[in-house]
Amino acid sequence: MKNHWLMKSEPDAFSIDDLKRKKHEAWDGVRNYQARNYMRDGMRVGDKVFFYHSNCAEPGIVGIAEVATDAYPDPSQFDPKSKYFDAGSSRDNPRWMLVDVKFVKKLKRTITLKELQADPELDGMVLVRKGSRLSVQPVEAAHWQHILTLE
């Protein structure tokens, strides 16, 4: 069974247009254990992902991507020059994992966070819960299907 996910990115760091141009990208820099666990333990090749622009004028779902690889160690954790360097992580026991995602499509419009929060069909969705800040989160199949109808 395929799972569904939502992954947040700040558009000035990496946008849906960047993914469209590159076609395939490692989702690096995740430094939250829960988000890491979702990538490591939950994500499988072929799972669909809502691409979400965060920390911008109009946060919301802007596209769809697909998990392209199984989880593997995030190489940035071993690079002392990287802002994601983690001196406590070792190659024998890496702390941080990532998956590669590939571009599927850019939505015709942004489905805004305000719109998602106001939709009673999305009650219980991780994204619309108070205080939810996870950059990688699961999306229930019913919520996924409903959001697809909003485009």
Q: Which domains does the chain have, with CATH numbers?
A: 4-150 (3.10.590.10)
Say whether pLDDT at 64 is over 90: yes
Residues facing 66 on adjacent strands: 48, 102
Distance CA 95, CA 86 (A): 8
Span 103-115, pLDDT tens digits:
999 999 999 999 9
pLDDT category at 2 given cuts 50, 70, 90 is: confident
Dihedral pair phi/psi, residue 10, rounded to 5°: -80, 125
Look at residues 35, 29, 40, 28 and name the one whose alpha carbon lies nearest to residue 100: 28
Span 7-60, pLDDT tens digits:
999 999 999 999 999 999 999 989 999 999 999 999 999 999 999 999 999 999
| 39 contacts 97 by C-beta, under 8 angstroms | yes
Name the DSSP letter for residue 84: T
Look at residues 51, 55, 68 and name the one whose alpha carbon lies nearest to residue 151: 51
pLDDT of residue 10: 96
The secondary structure of the chain in percent helix, strand, coil, rounded to multiples of 5, reads 30, 30, 40
Neighbours of 98 (CB within 10 A): 24
